[in-house]
Structure 1
Amino acid sequence: MKANLSVHYSNFNWEKKMAEYYQLTVENREKIGTSEAKSLRKNGKIPANYYYKDTSNINLSIDEKELNQVLHSGQRIFEVHLAGETQFVMFKDIQYHPVTDDVIHVDLMRVRRDEKMTITVSIRLEGDAEGVKQGGVLSQIMNSIDIECFPTDVPEFISLDISDLVVNSSKSVADLIVDSKLTILAEGDQVVTTCHPPREEEEIEVEVKEGEEVEGEAAAEEGEEKAESDAGSEESTE
């Protein structure tokens, strides 16, 4: 179960961390239907739908090249101009071609600047872990996390300093330092990253070699005993 958790705050200049919104150009689409959608794609346009609460959806089109740039920008919230005003939107759904993997349709959902929203952002590890310098292995268990905030406060990512992470230790959600405008929706004891010792391959190899030597010594002793026994039998025969 998720619980609201307001973790550490600092006086860091968070304005630099907040995403600068990409202005996505959209055009109204009068005609709808499969044939019209195919015609749009042939002309470098991708059909789109715009949704907001109880209002009727709006049919739009987006330039294919611009859409691909947006999808690879790493941002989650975008600005669009509709009905003479600037609005904030995020992708509600993206449909891909099953063979070419090209985008064939997108759904946009409006988010209001004065209404908080829940969104997933990535967690970025920063710094060189002390444990890795000592030969440890770093593992990131949690790559993203849900937060609640206003659309204008969505960060591109949340960073976690791991420079003091030593072998056999971990950092959890409670170690994340976020702006007071953000609320993390996760339990504080959830592990984000760990540093554990390397596999003891060398010791295993040594143990195997030692075992082989013991078996070899036993075989040699057995051979010597057999040789002595055979020699004794020959002497008795003579």
Structure 2
Amino acid sequence: MNTITIEGELRSEFGKKATRQLRSEEKVPCVIYGGAEVVSFSAPAKSFKNLVYTSAFQVAEIKLGAKTYRAVMKDLQFDVVTDELSHIDFMELVEDKPVAVTLPIKLVGQSVGVKAGGKLVTKLKALKVIALPKHLVENIEVSIDNLELNGNIRVEDVKVEGITITNSPRIPIASVVMTRQLRQEEATAEKDAKKK
């Protein structure tokens, strides 16, 4: 799994003035919770770029002095005026403690419905899951090989060992719809069949 290393420093001062000072130095105030202690730190805004501006699921390795924390992003806040990153909450990954995260879906294979002339429509790009840190994966692979024309793959069709999916089971992930050209070809074939 992709891991991004972030080097930060523990925060000793809090409040609006201290936070404003950090932001003026282009640093982002952050907090790590979920472990034995709540840790407040700051790090340069540019060090979060590859973690924040991506749809990929990644683990952050946060180095604060001699200690390193493995964590996942839980919440982001942006400045309403400048749109700059203003705060991040991280959830520490603790070995025996399940964590709730959102994992991207990766569709794999060749749909039989697409081969028959249909069009693949992606309806869901990520799944909400609960899993132990050791079961976390970069993405959830969903095979579309057996997806037929006018067929759906739903959340309930996805099974991943060690991961509990919390989305509603009936939500479609992907479907193959009939293209206009295919509809026209079928209509023409029907007319021709009636003429005979």
TM-score in terms of structure 2 length: 0.77
| Long gaps (5+) in structure 2 | 189-196
Instruction: Give the alignment of 1:1-238 within 5 angstroms.
Output: 19-52=1-34, 55=37, 57-73=38-54, 74-82=56-64, 84-176=66-158, 178=160, 180-186=161-167, 190-199=171-180
**Aligned residues of 1:26 and 1:62 also touching (Cα < 8 A):** yes
Distance, in Å, in 2 between the alignment partners of 1:70 and 1:158 is: 19
**Aligned residues of 2:154 and 2:169 also touching (Cα < 8 A):** yes
Counterpart code for 2:165: I
**Aligned residues of 1:166 and 1:195 also touching (Cα < 8 A):** yes
Q: 1:85 to 1:35 in 2, by over 3 A?
A: closer
Distance, in Å, in 2 between the alignment partners of 1:106 and 1:187 is: 28
Distance, in Å, in 2 between the alignment partners of 1:50 and 1:184 is: 24
Distance, in Å, in 2 between the alignment partners of 1:53 and 1:78 is: 14
> Higher mean Cα deviation, 116-125 or 67-76?
67-76
Larger relative contact order (Cα-Cα within 8 Å, sequence gap ≥ 6)? 1
TM-score in terms of structure 1 length: 0.65
| Long gaps (5+) in structure 1 | 1-18, 207-238
Report the CA distance between 1:112 and its aligned residue: 0.7
Counterpart code for 2:102: T
Report the CA distance between 1:174 and its aligned residue: 4.4
Percent pairwise identity: 25
Distance, in Å, in 2 between the alignment partners of 1:186 and 1:93 is: 19
Distance, in Å, in 2 between the alignment partners of 1:58 and 1:130 is: 51
Q: Number of aligned pairs?
A: 184
Counterpart code for 1:109: M
SS of structure 1 residue aligned to 2:95: coil
The one-character-per-residue Cα deviations of 1:85-126 (angstroms, maximum 9, x if unpaired) are 432222232110113211012222323122122222121112
- Taking only aligned residues, the RMSD between alpha carbons, in angstroms, comes to 2.8
**Aligned residues of 2:32 and 2:91 also touching (Cα < 8 A):** yes
Q: 1:50 to 1:187 in 2, by over 3 A?
A: closer
The one-character-per-residue Cα deviations of 1:50-78 (angstroms, maximum 9, x if unpaired) are 333684x4331111111122213523432
The one-character-per-residue Cα deviations of 1:166-210 (angstroms, maximum 9, x if unpaired) are 2122223344353x332333565543221121247859xx9xxxx
Report the CA distance between 1:136 and its aligned residue: 1.4
**Aligned residues of 2:109 and 2:144 also touching (Cα < 8 A):** yes
The structure where helix makes up a greater share of residues is: 1
Greater CA radius of gyration, 1 or 2? 1
Counterpart code for 2:77: Q
Counterpart code for 2:101: I
